[in-house]
Amino acid sequence: MKPAPFEYVVARSVEETLAGLAEHADDVKVLAGGQSLIPAMNFRLAQPAVLVDVNGVDELDFVRVEGGELRIGAVTRQRTVERSEEVRRLAPLLHEAIPSIAHPQIRNRGTVGGSLVHADPSAELPSVMVALGARMRIRGPAGERWVAADDFFVGLLETAVGSDELLLEVAVPEAAAGAGHAFLELQRRHGDYAMAGVAAAVALDGSGRCAGARIALLSVGDGPVLAAGAAGVLTGETPSAELFAAAARAAAHDDIDPPGDIQASAPYRRHLVEVLVRRALTLAFQRADASGARA
């Protein structure tokens, strides 16, 4: 289990990275935390000819608040986000989800950008970003653009980021008053990729009705799956156990077509989604209530 040879390029800036990607266009990969890429290389499942190492691109290592958004640089370590006070305050859903990613040793290396671009359907961050309605800034030879999370994840391990492009940062809107959130997942063992999971961001209006909900599911599709049907059931309604159950049913039966694998069959996944969505909504609306939408 030793990686195949490759050429190694160290980038110190976004410019250098893009130059490196352009130069070796045919078979090059960005090396961020390496926590997904290096295992794949050790198994020789991935054999890129060139790696452009972005660990030294300090300009992409940040967590800051700007224009009502929380902005996180792509090369920021997951561990940094986990410990960030701003994240805890402004994006509690993200804060809640991060410890479910693997183990501290892996979060010490793994980056936010790496997780998003790798886009594993069982990964936590993609679903969290979808639930939060985040947007991503991408730069490539053709310039820069912002892409909404909903459009960022395009297929199995596939995103809007082209092979000659770099994800620069992700911007998360600040949680509004009356917002509630919950992240729940079921793993075989602590730190494993989940058999199923849910990231829910909900909001109450002044009359105590659901003003909107974004529920993103992990491990049930090619990437994060936005449970639009479930959100439709909730919006405009007064929260109740029955409502949550109905929304959970919609999520499990209308919104997803889950795959089966050795840890969880498709029917079991569907069942877990129903349970988890129900539990997550209960918790999220409790929190929304507590955060004082009516005040």
| Interacting residue ranges for another protein, rule: CB under 8 A | 1-8, 34-35, 38-39, 41-44, 51, 53, 55, 79, 102-106, 108-109, 186, 188-193, 195, 262-265, 268, 271-272, 275
Residue 55 interacting entry, from another protein, ligand FAD, none, C-beta within 5 to 8 Å by type: another protein
Binder among 18, 37, 196, 256 for ligand FAD (CB under 6 A): 37
Contact flag: residue 221 with ligand FAD (CB under 6 A): no
Question: In whole angstroms, what is the distance from residue 216 CA to residue 251 CA?
Answer: 10
Stretch that binds ligand FAD, among 62-70, 104-112, 174-182, 266-274 (CB under 6 A): 104-112
Residue 258 binds which entry of another protein, ligand FAD, none, CB below 5-8 Å type-dependent: none
Asked if 34 interacts with ligand FAD (CB under 6 A), we say: yes
The values of phi and psi at residue 166, to 5°, are -130, 135
Q: Choose which of 92, 110, 121, 239 interacts with ligand FAD (CB under 6 A).
A: 110
Q: What own/partner pairs with CB < 8 Å and gap ≥ 24 does 148-153 have? A: 149/224, 150/226, 152/116, 153/119, 153/126, 153/223, 153/224
122-141: contacts with ligand FAD (CB under 6 A): 123-125
Please state the closest distance from residue 253 (CB atom) to ligand FAD, in A. 26
Output 35 or 282, the one with its CB closest to ligand FAD: 35
Distance in Å, CB of 199 to another protein, minimum: 18
Using the minimum distance from each CB to another protein, give the nearer residue, 109 or 137.
Answer: 109
Q: What per-residue string of b and e applies to 248-265 under the rule 16 or more CB within 10 Å gives b?
A: bbbbbeebbebeeeebbe
Which residues are CB-neighbours of 281 under 8 A, at least 6 positions away?
182, 200, 202, 213, 215, 234, 239, 244, 247, 248
Contact region for ligand FAD (CB under 6 A) — 5-13, 103-111, 224-232, 241-249? 103-111
Does 102 sit near ligand FAD (CB under 6 A)? yes
Which residues partner with 155 through β-bridges?
158
Integer Cα distance of 149 and 97 in angstroms: 17
Choose from ligand FAD, another protein, none: what does 268 bind? Cβ within 5-8 Å by kind. Answer: another protein
Q: Does 197 sit near ligand FAD (CB under 6 A)?
A: no
272 binds, among another protein, ligand FAD, none (CB under 5 to 8 A by kind): another protein
Binding of ligand FAD by 196 (CB under 6 A):
no
| Tokens (6 digits) for 104 | 């501290």
Q: Which helix (H) or strand (E) covers residue 112, if one does?
A: helix 112-118
Q: Please give the size of the binding site for ligand FAD, defined by CB under 6 A.
A: 29
CA distance 66 to 290: 26
Q: Angle 266-290/241-250 helices, nearest 10 degrees?
A: 140
Chain residues binding ligand FAD by CB under 6 A are 29-37, 39, 74, 101-102, 106, 110-111, 113-115, 117-118, 120, 123-125, 161, 166-167, 193
